Amino acid sequence: MRLNGKNAVITGCGRGIGLEIAKRFLQEGAIVVGCDVNEKHIENATKLLSKYGKIKIFKCDVSRYEDVQNFIKKAIDFFGEDRINILVNNAGIARHTKFEDLTPEIWNNTIAVNLTGQFNTCKAVIPTMIKQRNGVILNMSSVNGIFAEGEMIHYDVSKAGILLLTKGIAWEFAKYNIRSVSICPGIISTELVKESGMTDEAEKEFTKKIPLGRFGTVEEVANTYVFLASDEASYITGTEIIVDGGQMCHQ
């Protein structure tokens, strides 16, 4: 019960990694308020997660600041107190697109959800963390924020921006005992990977780049979040944690 009694906000928790993070946080004793943009995902996740603890999931488009403000107000109402101990910025989108096919719409949408979405939630939550003089912000980045991947320039840029957003927040708000860390997974077996356009053949080829010889699991990423959110990680801030099966050690 490493998160016992803590209030946690998790974006994009309707499925995949976000769903597993919410599950693990509940198992560790946290009260969770989540959001997702897809109503069907919200319905399915609520049914699955309710048996693990106290949770409420709202619909929210993180790229819209007004949506995020309303979501955080609802979260505080659900918690029954103006206290948010943990913010997990997990919501994101990905799609393989060659640069010559990359339209301003695809570019802007990717940046809006992946990067601006995290700015929006940080902006809405940090005032509460300042008042309580503590907090943990965990931002989902990617190994793609560290090195470039073909046909993913828009995604790579959005994830690279998260690294500096995280460092800037860690530097500016350390005086309030607010920690900020980026998590950089490699290839994790999720629905989003399938939807990004990666073929089975490309999946097999990519596995050859990973020393552990396989894709990661959502459980392995979620366990990293539990540790970083807990008091056991109290001296970790302003950095990125790579969860990639060794992929980056020879990139």
Catalytic residue among 52, 65, 155, 176: 155
CB atoms within 10 A of CB 2: 17
Position of tokens 């959005």? 158
Strand 178-185 and strand 86-89: the pairing is: unpaired
User: Catalytic site residue 155?
Assistant: yes
**Strand partners of residue 216:** 188
- CA-based radius of gyration for the chain: 17
- What amino acid positions are annotated as catalytic residues? 155
